[in-house]
Amino acid sequence: MVSFSAFRQARRLFALGIGAVSLLSGCSSEAPPSNPDTGPKMPEGGLLDYPVDAIGPFRVGYRSFLHTYQPKGVEGPREIRINLWYPTLDEEGTPPVYLNVFPDDDVFEDASVAPPMEAAGYPVHLHSHGYSGFGGTSSDMMHWFASHGWVAVAPDHKGNTLPEHEDTVPLAISFLRSMDLTASLDALEALPAEDPLAGKCRTDEVLLSGHSFGGRTAWASGGAAYDLAAIQAMCDDGTKFSEPCTPEQIAVFGEGLGDARVKAGIPMASGVGDEEPGWFGFDGYDPVKKPYMQMSGSLDPVGAENVFARVTSIDFTWLDFEGGCHQLFALGGCQEFESYEGWRLVNTYAFAFARRHILGDTSDKVQKLLDGTEVLSPKVKFQHK
């Protein structure tokens, strides 16, 4: 983890970087134009009318709430905090402070909700944080999407957050994380009628991303097939988990954790060992049967190359960022990669991928970014199969 001061400094750099990116792309990062009589106006056009490589036309609001559901494989209900980022026309507000430690000066807490840009409602980006993380660790990506009229959703995975840090966790955390994601979509669909987002979130076709442990969660929730023998071997090892495994828990993995609402996935900073089967074995990735874009940093040897080698039949892209560290896709602070530059590149590629596979964007810019014809930086190594 980076320190509070490093995080705050990185946020400031990113704020400066937004202006530079906007000038280069011809899109301003300033607030939507206002009218002294009617207040801020809705941006003109639709979801695909703004540059994919710049912050969108909205300011960003944030809220969180507690949600209780009953997961499989454990006794009793589970309560999680669900974090939401969404478009707003508000021009000022109070920034949230995630975990009462990490401020986000680019976002307004409990801001009003801007109307959706299209009658179909807000497209949805679902995210899973890393080991001992929290929903706001990749808030820059959430901000980017929300500024373009999306609703971004990231639960805090109870039992595996920063305040609860432990070196090992129970086996159940590995399936509870995916269940948290499914429960988050269910909660969006069940918002009370008076909620401004009620009935307006397009949860039928969702983009899913995940950082580190969340990258594995992104594969699982997309429909990857678990290797039960490999999981049993981890349990038999006796040191992998904080509690003994049970046959009932292993059976949950056998049922699969995929959510049909996930239409495309972006695992970041995750992988598998060279010869080890890992959680999905040697052929468990292809069952997702949907496009995936894997991102990694060259200074973070997580085994992303091994995942790329094992995938054989899906639309699969791998972006490796030269000089990128593990936190390039979350809090930033890499020694050889400026945070604002890293966030700009990661967010642009992720957003282009989302526009193509969730919104059907076939524009020239998006096509070139996703087929490698246009590379945004010499630091980006692009591979596709």
Angle formed at CA 34 by CA 32 and CA 40, multiple of 5 degrees: 70
Per-residue model confidence (pLDDT) at position 275: 87
pTM (2 decimals)?
A: 0.90
Mean pLDDT of 331-349: 96
Q: For 37-75, what is each residue's pLDDT tens digit?
A: 556 889 999 999 999 999 999 999 999 999 999 999 899
9-12 long-range contacts (CB < 8 A, ≥24 apart) are: 10/331, 10/332, 10/333, 10/339, 10/340, 11/103, 11/104, 11/105, 11/106, 12/105
Q: What is the pLDDT of residue 37?
A: 52
Q: What is the pLDDT of residue 215?
A: 98
Q: With contact defined as beta carbons under 8 Å apart, do 296 and 271 qualify? A: yes
pLDDT at 25 > cutoff 80? no
Residues 186-220 pLDDT 10s: 999 999 999 999 999 999 999 999 999 999 999 99
The stretch 369-382 carries a mean pLDDT of 97
In which band, very low, low, confident or very high, does the pLDDT at 14 lie, cut at 50, 70 and 90? very low
pLDDT tens across 111-170, in order? 999 999 999 999 999 999 999 999 999 999 999 999 999 999 999 999 999 999 999 999
> Tokens 């997702």 belong to which residue?
288
- 33-42, 236-245, 283-292, 329-338, range with the lowest pLDDT: 33-42
Band (242; pLDDT cuts 50, 70, 90) = very high
The DSSP bridge pattern shows strands 102-103 and 97-98 to be antiparallel
Q: How far apart are CA 202 and CA 277, in angstroms?
A: 36
Among 220, 197, 221, 211, residue whose Cα is nearest residue 350: 211
Contact 234, 287 (CB under 8 A): no
101's tokens: 């430690």
The confidence score (pLDDT) of residue 304 equals: 98
Whether the predicted pLDDT of 11 surpasses 70: no
User: Is it the case that residue 15 has pLDDT exceeding 90?
Assistant: no
Closest CA to 129 of 146, 141, 144, 147: 141
> Does 24 score more than 60 pLDDT?
no
Residue 12: is its pLDDT beyond 80?
A: no
- Residue 21 has what pLDDT? 31
Beta-carbon count within 10 A of 170 CB: 18
